[in-house]
Amino acid sequence: MHRNKQGSQYYTLVGGRAADNEALEHTLVREVKEETGLDVTEAKLVLIEMHPEPYNEQYIYICKIAPHSDVVIQDTSEEAFLNRMGTNTHRPLWADIKSFDKLAFRTPQLQAAIVKGLKKGWPKQPQQL
């Protein structure tokens, strides 16, 4: 996801907060659908990125998705609302694996772990960053 947050431009993964008592896997499916229009068919938790308050830890999944056409933020999502406001915009896009390490990614530690996973394979058990 390309973000332009009050002039600060960077890339991050699709995601969001779990609703009250919402299972992580349901949050994943919902957030991917809201922010891309894509349907997750399989998911495996591979990384957990810890953050201090007021942020929460992030759970990073590798997903398979159903056949699709365009990647589009859904009109009813928070991101679509923010895009209409114009000061905190979101644009989903596909990143080329070969150039992923050169993106202005929001969290370099997570970016490095993703690059490592893409090159050497993902851990069998979720790895905490």
Rg (CA), the chain: 15
- pTM for this prediction: 0.89
Q: What is the DSSP string of the chain?
A: -EEEETTEEEE--S--PPPTT--HHHHHHHHHHHHH---EEEEEEEEEE---TTS--EEEEEEEE---S-----TTSHHHHHHHHSSEEEE-----GGGGGGS-BS-HHHHHHHHHHHHH---SSPEE-
Across 78-106, average pLDDT: 91
What's the domain count of the chain? Answer: 1
Q: What is the pLDDT of residues 31-51, one digit of tens each?
A: 999 999 999 999 999 999 988
Res 29: pLDDT: 96
How sure is the predictor about 125, in pLDDT bands with cuts at 50, 70 and 90? very high
Q: Closest by alpha carbon to 34, among 75, 90, 84?
A: 75
How sure is the predictor about 113, in pLDDT bands with cuts at 50, 70 and 90? very high
CATH number for the domain spanning 9: value is 3.90.79.10
Res 86: pLDDT: 87
Task: Give me the percent of the chain exceeding a pLDDT of 90.
Answer: 77
Q: Confirm if 54 and 46 have CB atoms less than 8 A apart.
A: no
Structural domain harbouring 105: 2-128
